[in-house]
């Protein structure tokens, strides 16, 4: 039973355009949401996060949007760069604790020059 779903296994965009990665979750008890980026042969790298009390958080080219009523999370990357090509994971904490991350399956983003 997948609690965090990334329904697009892959996404391809042109350099300079916007990349939008999506994530859906099933449990309304999830209270902190994170995005990680993973290159081959490296561990996941933390990108950006958002608390359930907010609906938007920005950090440079990266913006995360949270729609609690739809249980939907998205990551926007503007402008996209070839170095952004990686697997992106949506992950969540629940219960006011950061002891356990629950991950989606990931979306492979390819940014073409």
Q: Which residue number, 24 or 36, has a Cβ lying nearer to other proteins?
A: 36
Residue 23 interacts with other proteins (CB under 8 A): yes or no: no
From the list 38, 100, 98, 31, the residue with the least C-alpha distance to 66 is: 31
Residue 37 interacts with other proteins (CB under 8 A): yes or no: no
As to burial, measured by CB atoms within 10 angstroms (0-12 exposed, 13-18 middle, 19+ buried), residue 83 is exposed
From the list 45, 42, 25, the residue with the least C-alpha distance to 33 is: 25
Q: Which residue number, 9 or 16, has a Cβ lying nearer to other proteins?
A: 9
Residue 77 interacts with other proteins (CB under 8 A): yes or no: no
Considering only residues 60, 83, 96, 113, which one is a binding residue for other proteins as defined by CB under 8 A?
96
The first and second tokens of residue 8, run together, are 């697009």
Is the CB of residue 4 less than 8 Å from the CB of residue 102? yes
Stretch that binds other proteins, among 42-50, 55-63, 66-74, 75-83 (CB under 8 A): 42-50
Q: Which residues of the chain form contacts with other proteins (CB under 8 A)?
A: 4, 31-32, 34, 36, 41-46, 49, 51, 89, 91, 93, 96-106
């Amino acid at each position: 039973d997948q609690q965090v779903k990334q329904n697009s296994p892959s996404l391809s965009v042109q350099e300079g355009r916007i990349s939008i990665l999506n994530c859906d979750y099933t449990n309304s008890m999830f209270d902190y949401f994170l995005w990680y980026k993973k290159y081959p042969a490296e561990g996941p790298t933390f990108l950006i996060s958002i608390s359930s009390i907010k609906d938007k958080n920005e950090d440079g080219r990266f913006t995360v949007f949270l729609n609690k009523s739809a249980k939907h999370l998205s990551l926007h990357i503007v402008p996209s760069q070839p170095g952004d090509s990686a697997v992106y994971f949506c992950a969540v904490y629940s219960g006011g604790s950061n002891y356990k991350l629950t991950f989606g399956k990931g979306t492979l983003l390819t940014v073409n020059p």
